Structure 1
């Protein structure tokens, strides 16, 4: 699907360490929004200043990464949980200015933050009670209303949010990659099915006659469009004069759009290298 924004949103805390934060990052070509999830669950303190300082430190790091990569930055999930969650009675909660304090800290220190998202009030009762925002009549109602009406609150309203510092999302230029065979496969058949997947480009923009896979030995394998962005072809090793002799063979996709542009590879140059292994059952 290409009508959605995809957010990278691991759970914190990262202590400002971008290497730790990016440990499971799938790559710039798959992500539009950089964010992370963090909940205040320590109810020992009277206010949330220590937790907010941790969030600001990590959000600065996330913002730096977003700026470098041309991504949107957001606090993709936050709230109060565990011992710090809002009480079912609506009274006795510590730090009733939780939302306004967090919003002010982000507005001052990470102004590029495009949005911040918390969960809904699911209700329930007893140990199963879940509420992530104050409600009418609860201790935090007044502050939450002020937060919602604030011009610094980072909520999804053009009147309340300054988006001028938010970096633009990177454009999707389309990509092509070999999905069959996969890198490192052992090939034992002289006829090799080759499948290429295109992404980030409309079917109507593809030059269907341009799709080929090249080998590092000079062969071109013509591909035919099937469906859902996939092209398929057959590499006949016998016809190409390639033997199953324990050697390696590298395949590289090449697909163009109608305006003559070659789709970039999703990773590296999109090549896969396979090992050509004699089929022992044929001996």
Structure 2
């Protein structure tokens, strides 16, 4: 059985719904048809894409990797099939939590003035590539190293790292902090869309205790509640103030690169103008 575009669309629905029954309803197909499509893909690829039981369905690591490639392939096919649509649809710009930091509002205003026929949609997506790898956006503002295959990046600027600590805790009284200061207590890590990992600390002085969350809102809530401290980029302090969280400069942490990224295939026609404007406003090369 040959693999067709419908198999990819079916798999993306399964990945989105986490259920064969709900995927079938979304696609207006029967559940056996959806099951056969998934099985055909797995036979063709030679790997299991989903672990399914009576009550739930989860993607395997191979399934998560294939979901990203399938989404990019479907997006590229749709764009190629209707190229005129690219000249009229909005330019979708993803970000995981802080967009362009202080440059966000100036960029949105300038874009509206200079490109009124191409709306720029700023979308927060809690994902390491802010939806770019899955084809949900045309470009994304990313922080830190980017090693996702098929993406092109442009460095815009770098920003210092800051510590985020409980406002009524002892670390909030300090003017600046070090990585050792944070390592003495629990560290809150956003493992879905965040920047910080334990690799930020030298191997011999890493925090002994961590708390993992899935988005910036839960990260802030955990820190405000005194469950641990966090580390992030300086723009987080500006874009996400919180009455229970105090930000302090991390004096011995490396700066964070801020990148504009896009897929190498089928870029939006207005992408070049976005890159040029972002570089102009941020002073990027």
Instruction: Provide the TM-score with structure 2 as the length reference.
Output: 0.23
Which structure's residues are more often helix, by fraction?
2
* Structure possessing the higher radius of gyration over alpha carbons: 1
Instruction: Provide the TM-score with structure 1 as the length reference.
Output: 0.23
